[in-house]
Amino acid sequence: MPEFSAGQELTGTNMSQKGIGMRGNRISTSSGSTSTEVAVLRIDDKSVKAGRSYRVSATGVHMQSTVAADAIKVRLRYTTDGTTPTTGSTELPGSGAYDRIHTANSAQTHVIETRYDPASDQTLSVVITITRLAGTGSCTLFGSATDSLSVEIVDEGVAVSDTGTDL
């Protein structure tokens, strides 16, 4: 994304530039989690700008457990100061996915997507994590060469204010 200087003319073309800023991909199954949250895939140090809107997403989120009826939560956690995000970092609002596993060792697939509109220029890093909330099995995020997990930060362009009305 280009930087703009004072006095530079802003046009529809340069204000709407957008695209994938960072992408992480995993093609192997994660470590198992019982009651402890486990980090699975991280992308670090994406420069994000105030006034822009970023889509943070995870696709190919294949949740599975060794025991049917286990409850699992997957989260996108983040930092904005250049530090490495961990399982103790803040959860991105709107980025949690829950599921109760129907069949042992059979993945249930999700897509996680949320927006991030920074109030100031920052360095965004994101980690996807998994934890078992209830049950007795070991839960993982399944991955393979044909069923990969991807995490992306995408510049969606100029941020738009929330003009909705809560009812």
Query: How many whole angstroms separate alpha carbon 148 and alpha carbon 27?
Result: 5
Q: Where are the alpha helices (DSSP H) in the chain?
A: 12-15
Inform me whether the pLDDT recorded for 16 exceeds 70. Answer: no
Q: What pLDDT, on the 0 to 100 scale, is given for residue 1?
A: 45
Domain annotation for the chain: domains and CATH numbers = 19-158 (2.60.120.760)
**What are the tens digits of pLDDT across the range 105-127?**
888 899 999 999 999 999 999 99
Inform me whether the pLDDT recorded for 87 exceeds 50. Answer: yes
- For the entire predicted model, the pTM comes to 0.86
Q: Which residues are CB-neighbours of 76 under 8 A, at least 6 positions away?
A: 56, 58, 91, 92, 95, 96, 112, 114, 126, 127, 128, 151
State mean pLDDT over 33-61.
Answer: 94
Q: What percent of the chain has pLDDT over 70?
A: 89
State mean pLDDT over 5-23.
Answer: 62
Mean pLDDT taken over the chain: 89
Give the residue, 10 or 116, on which the prediction is more confident: 116
